[in-house]
Every structure is written in structure tokens, then in C-alpha cells.
A and B are shown apart, each in its own frame.
Chain A
Amino acid sequence: MGEGLRIEGLSLRFGDLLVLDRVDLEVGEGEFVCLVGPSGCGKSTLLNVVAGFGLPGNPEIEGTVRWQSRVIRSHRDWRGELGYVFQRDNLLPWYTLEQNVLIGLRVRQVPPHEAIHRARQEITRVGLGGFERHFPHQLSGGMRQRASLARTLVYGPKVLLMDEPFGALDAHTRMHLQRELTGLWTEHRTTVLFVTHDLSEAIILGQRVVVLSNRPGRVTAEYCVPFTYPRDPVELQGRKEFAMLQAEVWSRLAEEFRRADLYLLRERAP
């Protein structure tokens, strides 16, 4: 794997609060890795550090993030090779769907004619053909997440970070999008780091599932998921192997969730 995305000894603290504790994680080039952990364990923070975003509150950060042996300190170090899909879509509300998808290509100075062609193609690929001139507020939650995906995939990022992108959707829409995502990934084979607190989602999507502990977050276990792509969530969840793997990971994860609950109780106690 060597040349993919490497996170080495990453620690992050806000003053006295240790959020991430020496996290080591590798995502090989073209690999799909899911990161699971209880809420508040620092999963999103980890993604933000990997992306190189400026974080509010000026935390102390140790350790390194590398992409193809290039050290990433700021979002600029990605040189536009990164895609990021947020939990809440970040489409710009004053632009139509098509204009939103075009921004990534405009920033790269793709010639307008080609840009429009590629944008429309990508919009059709995520199943939003016919909605090009709609504004984000005219689209449903599921459509907006599809749009976010199109907006990101259109400029062909080499690494895709996804922060619970389907977390706010209803179960039905979520399963649809999970299936479509595995389909798209089968085509693109982008390097993906996907964060979720939903274990079945992690197993449905990833080639590998990495468990992050309760705060301070560190990698406590990882599991290989043997299923082939593209995957069908409904069919997959009916399989015995799925249930067994889920039970196995859950036995590890449940402990982290329990510790997270205890932690919250203690924090709230007077």
C-alpha cells in the first residue's frame, strides 16, 4: 500500500482536552476505508486535520499526514487533489445545481465548453438529470447529497473524504445512496476515507473497517470486509457473513459506545 494516504502518530488537543491520541491509519491508493466510532470521538476532527482545514480554537497538533509521501499541513498541500463531502451539504444556495457543480471546474480553469459538458455528465451520473437549473432549496435532502457528490466527483479528486454524508437522510434514501456510492466507486476507484457512526453502513461500503475508540480517539481495531463490488445493501444485510462480521465488530464497538455514554454521564454530573 505504501504510497496512499498515511496518518502517523496524529494527536490533537484543545488545551487540556485530548481529542485524538496517536492515531495511525493507512488508506492505500484506490482503497475504500470506513472509520467508525461513537459520537464525539474525534472522527470529524480527524477528517478535518487530514483535509488541512484551519480549525477553530487553535488546537495543538502532532504527527503527520502524508499523501503519496507528500506531507500535508494545509489544504493548499493537496493541490486540488482532494474531495470532501460534508454531513450537511455545502452547496452554495445562490447557485443552481449546475453552477454549483461547475465551480470546481472553474477554479481549475477548465475551458467553459468542456466544463459544462462534464458537469452535465456528472449530474446525470448521480441521477439528477433534469434538475440542472434548480436551486439547492428546491431539492430534497437526498438530492442535495447526490449533488454534493457530483460537485466533488466532477473534478476527479484522487482522495475522497466523507463525513457521515448520509447521516441526516431517511433509511430508504440512505440505502439507495449507499448502493449508488459503491457503484460509483467501482467505476472511479478513488481512495476513500468514509467516517460514520453506523456500523452496518461501514460494512456495506468499506473494504476495511477501522474502529476508533471513545475520546481520546485512537485506533483500537480493524476488520477486513470480504464482499465484492458493486454492493447491494439490502442483499448484503441478508447474508450470514454480514451478520457475523457485524456481531464481531459490534462486540468491540459496543464497549466504546458504553464508555462514551459513561463519559457523557460523568461530564453532566454536578
Chain B
Amino acid sequence: MNLALSPSRRARVGVYRVGAWVLALRIGFVATVLLVWASVSGDLVPGWRAMPRALLPSPGEVLGGLRAYAQSGDLVADAFYTLSEAAGGLALAIVTGIAVGVLFAYVRLLGQAAEPLMVAFNAMPRYALAPLFVIWFGLGMASKIALVFFAVFFVVFFNVYQGVQTIDRNWVRGIEVMGGGPREIARYVILPYVVSWVVAALRTSIGVSLGVAVVGEFVGSVQGLGYRMVISVGVLDTPRTFAIVLILAAVGYTIVSLAAAVERRLLRWQRET
């Protein structure tokens, strides 16, 4: 069963160059979507809109919502709150995922014993346990950090666990022949290899952690982008809801691009075909 993302396969999905024509078409595509949106929501034809503001605010109204949100001072605080939850859970998941993955791969009996349970956990929709986590860890950050950790840990674990098992025996033998011991084997073979598998899982994991933090806030929170979204929907302040969706998209796009750049840099030793 291959649950891990192979580093080489992930490395191929990068930013690639496109011609001027494709670029023009892309811009045209976005412009068309915006135009249709603006025309049915009252920005183009004053006094006429196909849908009420509460259902579909116009682009201008969303910008207004964004401005109001930023001026209230909540935006930065909320974004920081949600990003902290995502980053905290992700960092915990990476550290423990590596530790447990290496441990289970080397202590074969332990790995074999735990494998079915790990597969079962990996297969279930873990964010569905959000309400439970809020009961256990409260409305603050802790419950969302725990939820993000729970969601991402298994991805990192399986990548490391299966990665370590594909270490070429002759890589290790090469170090042994040179007179190297376990420390050199760990330093030159195991560590770089494991890191490459974690990096391969990083991009997906970042996206998942942000999404899970927001979903966790839907269920129960006192701050954060997800929390603010639920409130704005409750009072039918849809311009603000849309503004938050835009923020999430921008933040997600930025950090995933950053992760992709890190990945390209760290995994440049891999075959690009």
C-alpha cells in the first residue's frame, strides 16, 4: 500500500513557464469571471442586481467589507491567530511524525504492530472529529493546534515510515566500508533522505493545516478567520464573509508557493522528467 507521496512525483508539479498567449488567455479568463460577477451583482448596472447582497455581494462591496475588517483591527489579529494554530499544529506534526516514523521503521515489530491502526486513522476524515477536540481542549488555540496536529501527523508519519524502508542497503554499506558507524550513517544517509520525504509532504500538509484550523474555528473558537467567518454569516454580513475567503485564498496561495520554492531548492538533486 503506497500512502506516501513520492518526492520525485511531487517535485514535478512546480511552476512552469507559459507563453505570452497562454498568459493573455489566463488574464482574460479571470477578467471574464470578474465581469460576470460584477454585472449580476449590481456593480456595472446601477440599480439592478440578479441576487441580493446577502447572497452575492458585488466585488465593490467585498472590497468595502475587506476595508472595514482591516480598519477594525480584527483582520491582522484574526489572521495571526489562525496562522499560529496552523503553524503550531504543523510543526508538532512534523517533529513527532519524523520521530515516530523513524522509530517504527527501525523497530520492525513495533511498526508491524501499529500499522493497521495507523492505516485506519489515516483513512478516516480526521477533521470530522473537530467537535470532540473542542470539548477536550476548549475554545482557545489548543483545540485547533491539536486538530491540525491530528490531521497532518499521519501524512508526515507515512511518508517518513515508508521513506526509511526504501533506503538502499548499499548506501548504508558504502558508509560502513569507509569505517563509518551509526552516527555517520544517520548523518549522511538517513537524515538527508528522511528530510527529502518530509519536504515532499510539506506542500500538501501546509494547505491541509490551514484548512483544518479554519474548520476547527467554525466548530468552536474565540478568535481567528474561521471564527469571524461564522459570525459574519450569522449576521448576513456576506461582504465580510467573502473578504475572509479572499484572505484565506491569498494566504494559502502565498505559503504554498513559498513551500514549492523551498521544495524545488531542497529537492533539486532529484531527476526532473
Contact = CB atoms under 8 A, between A and B. Distances in A.
B177 A83 contact: yes
Contact of B196 (A51, A75, A94): A94
Contact of B269 (A53, A79, A80, A94): A94
A108 B179 contact: yes
Interface residues of A, number: 28
Interface string A76-110: 10111011101010101111000000011001100
A135 interface: yes
B178 A104 contact: yes
Contacts of A80: 177-179
Most A CB within 10 A of own CB, among B175, B179, B181: B179
Contacts of B64: none
Contacts of A157: 177
A137 interface: yes
A93 B178 contact: no
Nearest to A88: B170
Contact of B175 (A79, A86, A103, A136): A103
Contacts of B136: none
A103 B188 CA distance: 8
B115 interface: no
Interface string B20-37: 000000000000000000
A155 interface: yes
| B-side interface mostly | helix
A90 B170 contact: yes
A87 to B, nearest CB: 9
B179 to A, nearest CB: 3
Given A93-B270, A94-B196, A82 B188 contact: no
A176 B176 CA distance: 29
B200 to A, nearest CB: 13
A24 to B, nearest CB: 24
Contacts of B178: 80, 103-104, 107-108, 155
B174 interface: yes
Contacts of A76: 176, 181
Interface of A: 51, 53, 56, 75-76, 78-80, 82-84, 86, 88, 90, 92-95, 103-104, 107-108, 135-137, 151, 155, 157
Given A75-B176, A83-B177, A107-B180, 7 more contacts: A76-B181, A90-B171, A92-B174, A92-B188, A92-B192, A94-B196, A95-B192
Interface of B: 168-171, 173-181, 184, 188-189, 192-193, 196, 268-271
